[in-house]
Chains A and B, each alone.
Chain A
Amino acid sequence: MREASVIAPRSLREALRAVGRKGVVAVAGGTDLLVRLHDVAAGERPSFLVLDGVRTLHSIAPRGKGLALGPLVTFSEIERSSLLRTLAPQLVEAASVAGSVQIRNRATLGGNIANGSPAGDLLPPLYVLSARLELSYSGGRRQVMIEDFFKGPGETVLRRNELITRVVFERSQNRGFFLRLAVRRALAISKVSVAANVSLRNGRVQSVRIALGAVAPTVLRASRTEEYLLGRELDRDSIETACGLASGEAAPIDDIRSEADYRREMVGVLLGRGLLRIASAR
């Protein structure tokens, strides 16, 4: 038996030196990790690499035309950031409906990504904002597009010796949304979610990105739907067709939260609601 110990670095360098060590696991807000370890006795727990103290990982800053967020930015900080409210409204909407105040005060962006749940609420917004992740290790770093980061539920390309150190994304186009359905009004994991980032020009869709949450092993881009919408006017017919297409792109399952058929159809319903909102906001 090994006593659980803690490494609490003050700098990124220190953190990166520790992360690859055997039996060490990084902890940000702990809202996923400590739940997972609930039944593991102290003696069998890994050593915690507590990231809190690395100040540079907490920042929210403009970068070029977009933004760069540190992985330790919490849901609450996202919710309250006026910068994000204008530049990434989808992300703000997602952060503000997740969990509870207590959870949002601790849960982090990086944790949501690294945890790799297809129901992670920040992920669909990050997909539609074309987020790039900076993964660092002792002596180097690499960039990965968010879509290439996930391999399956809870599985990512993050290597054992790496940390997510930055999340960079474009500013949102003129229109976007995040909508979800969950089993109750608060404190609930999404059973289906849809995020979009749309720009219109002369009433036509100039660019569009749509991502679907909790309806496949990973978050999914609805690429056929996007293709269809490109260049079209957002009217009743095009929206209806888009909803049908998006439903078809989802690959949901039955589980204790919901049913596959329902989820598939709800993808269309939520997308329709979001697109209608955009169409009528003109």
Chain B
Amino acid sequence: MKLKFTVNRRATTLEVTGAERVIDLLRERLGLVGTKEGCGKGECGACTVLLDGSPVCSCLLLSSQVAGREITTIEGLSEGESLHPVQAAFAETGAVQCGFCTPGLVLSSAALLADIPAPSREQMKRALAGNLCRCTGYQKIFEAVELASRNMRREKRRRR
């Protein structure tokens, strides 16, 4: 079947069976290897992408399920060389260690901040519980979300 969907703001058409996992489509067909596979069973969240803005595990998603929909991967979060405020904050606070879980955590954090601009720690914990990180202990990730939240709100005020 012909699959039409949007990937990182770009209209994309691919010939697919419809039964492929979206993660394979992204990594193997589109070369978007920022989406990582850590378990293949929806448990670790390394494969998180945004489906119409909401975090989902691309390892449990079939290509036919994204027809007509919009996917954002880590590569599409920022434009060009500039970083999304969440990406910048992750680098700034030391929220990255090995970096394998980072793309998923960045996307989940970005989705959280789009939904709740100034989340509490409890809200962060709930929003990020689906992204396992074995290196950081999450403290600096929480700090990164806080920093990004401050920067994004400041930026918004400035624009007004």
A residues with a Cβ closer than 8 A to B are: 3-6, 8, 27, 29-31, 34-35, 38, 42, 45, 47-48, 50, 52-53, 76, 99-103, 105-106, 185-187
Contact = CB atoms under 8 A, between A and B. Distances in A.
22 contacts: A6-B1, A34-B21, A35-B60, A38-B41, A42-B19, A45-B19, A47-B19, A48-B62, A50-B64, A50-B65, A52-B64, A100-B129, A101-B108, A101-B126, A102-B45, A102-B108, A103-B57, A103-B130, A105-B54, A185-B125, A185-B129, A187-B129
B120 to A, nearest CB: 15
Nearest to A74: B54
A186 B125 contact: yes
B38 interface: no
B51 interface: yes
Nearest to B51: A105
Nearest to B40: A38
A221 B17 CA distance: 44
Nearest to B65: A52
A99 B131 CA distance: 11
Contacts, number: 90
A30 B62 contact: yes
Contact of B130 (A42, A45, A53, A101): A101
A31 B51 CA distance: 15
Interface residues of B, number: 31
Contact of A102 (B1, B18, B56, B65): B56
B62 A50 contact: yes
Interface of A is mostly: loop
B61 A30 contact: yes
A126 B17 CA distance: 36
B119 interface: no
B17 A102 contact: no
Most buried by A among B57, B60, B127, B129: B60
B91 interface: no
B19 A6 contact: yes
B35 to A, nearest CB: 13
B75 interface: no
Contacts of B62: 6, 27, 30, 34, 48, 50
A5 B18 contact: yes
B34 interface: no
B42 A31 contact: yes
B130 A100 contact: yes
A186 B59 CA distance: 20
Contacts of B48: 102
Interface in B30-50: 40-43, 45, 48
A72 to B, nearest CB: 11
A10 to B, nearest CB: 11
